[in-house]
Every structure is written in C-alpha cells, then in structure tokens.
Amino acid sequence: MGKVGVALAAACAAAACVTAAVMVSRRMKRRRGWRKVVTVLEDLEEGCATPVGRLRQVVDAMAVEMHAGLASEGGSKLKMLLTYVHNLPTGMEKGIYYALDLDDTNFRVLRVKLGGQRSTILDHDVERQPIPQHLMTSTTEELFDFIATKLKDFVERQENVSEFSVEETRELGFTFSFPVKQNSSSTGTLLKCTKGFSIEDMVGRDVSQCLQEAMSRNGLNMRVAALVNDTVGTLALGHYHDQDTVASVIFGTGTNACYLERADAIIKCQGLLSTSGGMVVNMEWGNFWSSHLPRTSYDVDLDCESPNPNDQGFEKMISGMYLGDIVRRVVLRMSQESDVFGPVSSRLLVPFILRTPMIAAMHDDDSPNLMEVARILRDTLQIPDVPLNVRKLVVKVCDVVTRRAARLAAAGIVGILKKIGRDRNGGTASSSKAKGGSQSKMRRTVVAVEGGLYTNYTMFREYLNEAMGEILGEDVAEHVVIRDMDDGSGIGAALLAASHSASLAIDNI
C-alpha cells in the first residue's frame, strides 16, 4: 500500500470512529432523554396514587364534610344547599309536561308525555337552541323574552288542538344550572353569573319569576312548577324509573351531586317541615376539599392559573373541563425536560388546547401503531413524528390522570352512601337488630349518573366501577347500582313539574 493508500485508510478509520462516537453520543442522549420522561411519568404515578386505604380516607372526609355543611351555613366547603324538593316522582305521574334546560350557551326545550304507569314516558321531544352571543351580555328581559318566544314556538309546533284548552295552564320544570339560592321548590334567586353570561341585572332576582313574566308577556300560558339544577333533575328521572335511587351525580364539563337526606339531619334548618320527612340536598361537591386528595404540582399550577383559585378543588381533579389540561401540563413538562418530542411545541403552552374527548380518544386507541395518538399529537399539538414508545407513554399519562379522577369520583359516591348508611351490610338495620348482632339484609341502592364524561369515556366508567367494588367490598358493591340517566337534567325537571303540580308537599318553612 502506498503512502496515499495508508493516509486514505487512516482517514476512513478516523471518520468511522467519529461517526461511531456521534452515534454513541446520540444514543446516550436519547437514553438520558428517555430516562427523564420516564422519571416524569413515575413521579406522576406516585403523586396520583389512589390505593384503597387513601380512597377510604376520602370517603370518610366526604361524609364528615357533609355533616359539617348540614350543621351550619358556611360550616364546610360543601354548601349542602336546600332544594325544597321533598317528594320525588314515583312513576305514577300522568299528563303532558314541559321542561326548559338552560345550561351554558345552549338551552333545550322538552315536552314529556306521561302515562301514569311506572316507567312509561310515552313520548318525549327535545329541541336544542343556541343562545345568540349578544343576549349573554344583554338584559334579563331580553334573554328571557328570547327563551319564551322559542318555547312558545315549540309548544305550538308540538301540541294537538285537543291537548290543552285556551285557559288551561301548562306546567314547566325549569333546569337552571347556575348558582341559585332556592326559596322554594319553584323559586330561587341568582347568586352570580357564570359560564360566559354577564347579565348583571339578573343577580339577586328570582329567575323563575323572570321567566314567568316573560312567558306572560309573550302570551304563553305556562307556570314554572319546579326550579331545579341538573343533579336534582337527574335524581328525579332516576327515582321515576327506580324508587331505590337515592343520589345522583353529574360527570360532565363540571361535576356535582345531590341526594335524599332526612329532614331532621339538616340541622342548619331546624323545624323544616316536610310531608315526606326528607329533602333533596344539592351538595355542590365540586368544591369538596380534603388533605387526603392526592395532589400533584400540575394540579397546583392549574388551580393557580385558573380564574377561581382555591375554588372547586375536587372538580379540578375530576371533571371533563380539566382532565385534558392536566394531561397537557404533564406532556409539556416531559417535552421541556427531554427532546423525545422534538423541540417544545408552542401549542403545548396553550391552556385547554387538549380537550378531554381527545385524551379519551388517545386512551381508547387500540390500533397497533397508536395512529389516533399520533394524529392528535400532530394535528392538535403540532408534534409530528413521535416514536411509538413515546406515544405509549402519552397513553399512560392519560391513563394515570383519568384513573385518579374516576377513583376519587367513586370515593365521593361512597362518601354519600356512608352519610346515609348505605355503605355496609347491616347499615340499614334497625338499631335493636343491630345491637342484637343480627345483620339485616343490605338494601338495594341506586345512584343515577349523567354527563358526557361518564357516558362517553369508557375507561373513566370502568375505573369508577372497579373502585366502587374495591372500596365497598364485593358483597356490598353488588347491592349498589350505578345507573346512566341520559337526559336526566331535562326530563327530570318535567317529572318534578308533574309531581309538584299534584304534590301536597310543604315547600316553604
């Protein structure tokens, strides 16, 4: 080999060494990056851990807070609001009733035909209407005039001439899911505007009366027979179908629960008159808080940056509004700490860009290459070409966040059951029997559930049911039924209008 050949061979060897060194260094960097994201995931798993012992502590804390909220006004973060609903539908209601369900930017009008026999809702029609943007910041009269005219149109389209005579008053259930101080089962004053509404002259006014006046102005002969929130509507529908229903929970954009309480347990309202001996209590459980809740730095940051810090702590760990954003925060941390996602995408910095239906879609992705995960990372977060092992990691993040939410939700439900003595065998035994040591048979207990998170997110539902079994023990859990009440908030209000129009319940104290 000549000198030139030797030089060439040496150059080639050197180049090979450099390439190898670069490759080794890249591989080491990749490994370091991978180790860092795995550490972020492990920290998340540890921070979100919900072993059954901790869930039982949450159960106890929920029951304790419920007692405190019933004992005195402001005694707990749980408001435990009186609804003045003493009687729930029995299934025997008969006739045609209407409902108006006003939630965020849409309202729905419903008409329900009841046959007078259990579980026979003969017919129901629903129409969804958007509320024009300008009316959300206008005046009470303008908003309610708009709603009343749409309701009147709906009534005229649906009704046969023979159904109502000109003088006959129709009965309406009004579902109004905003903070209201209820004065009776059909009246209540608005405490504050939320969810994008800003109609200052409505605050402090009786919303039923505002609607009633608008209906009169627009020539609609209809009476607001019940004013309820969505949880109470859902409980009413649950009870209509199944009288063992004692509580209802909403898992949608937000979360809340209500249940049937003994009137004498509502200590803050002594001397409450109730023909049935009970009253539905609206817990406003989204604001529940306990030091036993497993809280991570992501939850702390989300809360600090929210418009309502220190408020709705339970809701911020559980509801559809927030789960996607917790996942976004974890992926952002992973992306900042390593380059497994490539350069940090500016989209990851946008709050609420990753919505909960997207994390459900990633979590449910059963394609071998996780194509849905790749699509959402690319299209929503502008992170292209994510390797499969990193996509798997993202699915795991969705799993950890949703599993914690569902298990805490289950603990909340068992907290309610504990408060009313339905969480254990013999819990409903008469005291003499219990003292004698004989266990009475566990009563069947039904909890009605409504909301897009529960209905559409399979893994949320499965984790919730699994945790109910773990906390209660299978022998008790088999007597507890979680029942999906689709459209409960609307139909339930019509049912309450029906039961209240016929009811002799004493609404006022």
- Scan for tokens 């989300």, then name that residue: 302
Cβ closer to ligand ADP: 341 or 457? 457
| 27 is an active site residue | no
Binding to ligand ADP by residue 452, rule CB under 6 A? yes
* Angstrom distance (rounded) from CA 417 to CA 410: 11
* Rounded least distance, CB 381 to ligand ADP, Å: 18
Q: Are 413 and 231 in contact (CB under 8 A)?
A: no
Neighbours of 416 (CB within 10 A): 28
Residue window 324-363: x/- pattern of binding to Mg ion, with contact defined by CB under 5 A = ----------------------------------------
Cβ closer to ligand ADP: 272 or 330? 330
Q: What are phi and psi of 483, to 5 degrees?
A: -120, 125
Report the SS3 class of residue 409.
helix
* Rounded least distance, CB 452 to ligand ADP, Å: 3
- Scan for tokens 């194509």, then name that residue: 371
DSSP 221-283: -EEEEEEE-HHHHHHHHHHHH-TTEEEEEEESSSEEEEEEEEGGG-GGGTT---SSSEEEEE-
Residue 148's nearest CA partner among 205, 198, 189, 207 is 207
Residue by residue, what is the 3-state secondary structure of 98-122?
EEEEECCCEEEEEEEEEECCCCCEE
Cβ closer to ligand ADP: 247 or 471? 247
Among ligand ADP, Mg ion, none, the one that 253 touches (CB under a kind-dependent 5 to 8 A) is: ligand ADP
Residue window 209-238: x/- pattern of binding to Mg ion, with contact defined by CB under 5 A = ---------------------x--------
18 contacts: CB under 8 Å, gap ≥ 6: none
Residue 112's nearest CA partner among 258, 243, 232, 237 is 237
| Amino acid letter for position 419 | K
> What's CA 474's distance to the chain center, in Å?
25
Q: Which of 453, 472, 476, 493 binds ligand ADP (CB under 6 A)?
A: 453
Cβ closer to Mg ion: 446 or 449? 449
Residue window 252-281: x/- pattern of binding to ligand ADP, with contact defined by CB under 6 A = xx----------------------------
**From residue 441, how far is each of 256, 281, 481 by CA, in Å?**
30, 27, 16
Q: What is the distance between the terminal CA atoms of the chain, rounded to a whole angstrom?
A: 110
* Rounded least distance, CB 456 to ligand ADP, Å: 3
Residue window 240-279: x/- pattern of binding to Mg ion, with contact defined by CB under 5 A = ------------x---------------------------
Q: What are phi and psi of 226, to 5 degrees?
A: -150, 135
Catalytic entry in 108, 328, 461, 483: 108
Binding to ligand ADP by residue 457, rule CB under 6 A? yes
Q: What are phi and psi of 306, to 5 degrees?
A: -85, 160
Cβ closer to Mg ion: 250 or 497? 250
Residue 407's nearest CA partner among 124, 49, 30 is 49
Report the SS3 class of residue 480.
strand
| 177 is an active site residue | yes
Cβ closer to Mg ion: 230 or 365? 230
* Rounded least distance, CB 452 to Mg ion, Å: 8
* Rounded least distance, CB 286 to ligand ADP, Å: 11
* Rounded least distance, CB 453 to ligand ADP, Å: 4
Sites for ligand ADP among residues 88-117 (CB under 6 A): 103-104
Cβ closer to ligand ADP: 253 or 425? 253
- Scan for tokens 């339970």, then name that residue: 314
| Stretch of residues binding ligand ADP (CB under 6 A), selected from 138-146, 214-222, 417-425, 453-461 | 453-461
* Angstrom distance (rounded) from CA 367 to CA 380: 19
* Rounded least distance, CB 320 to ligand ADP, Å: 2
Cβ closer to ligand ADP: 109 or 420? 109
* Rounded least distance, CB 249 to ligand ADP, Å: 12
Binding to ligand ADP by residue 212, rule CB under 6 A? no
Pull the structure tokens for residue 107.
Answer: 């309202």
* Rounded least distance, CB 502 to ligand ADP, Å: 29
Cβ closer to ligand ADP: 206 or 303? 303
DSSP 136-179: GGS-HHHHHHHHHHHHHHHHHHH--TTTS-TTPPEEEEEEE-S-
Residue window 332-371: x/- pattern of binding to ligand ADP, with contact defined by CB under 6 A = ------------------------xx--x-----------
| 108 is an active site residue | yes
Pull the structure tokens for residue 412.
Answer: 């909340």
Q: Which of 451, 488, 490, 492 binds ligand ADP (CB under 6 A)?
A: 451
Say how many residues touch ligand ADP, by CB under 6 A.
Answer: 14
Among ligand ADP, Mg ion, none, the one that 284 touches (CB under a kind-dependent 5 to 8 A) is: none
* Angstrom distance (rounded) from CA 376 to CA 380: 5
Catalytic entry in 103, 145, 230, 365: 230
- Catalytic residue list: 108, 177, 230
Residues engaged in binding Mg ion (CB under 5 A): 230, 252
Residues engaged in binding ligand ADP (CB under 6 A): 103-104, 252-253, 320-321, 356-357, 360, 451-453, 456-457
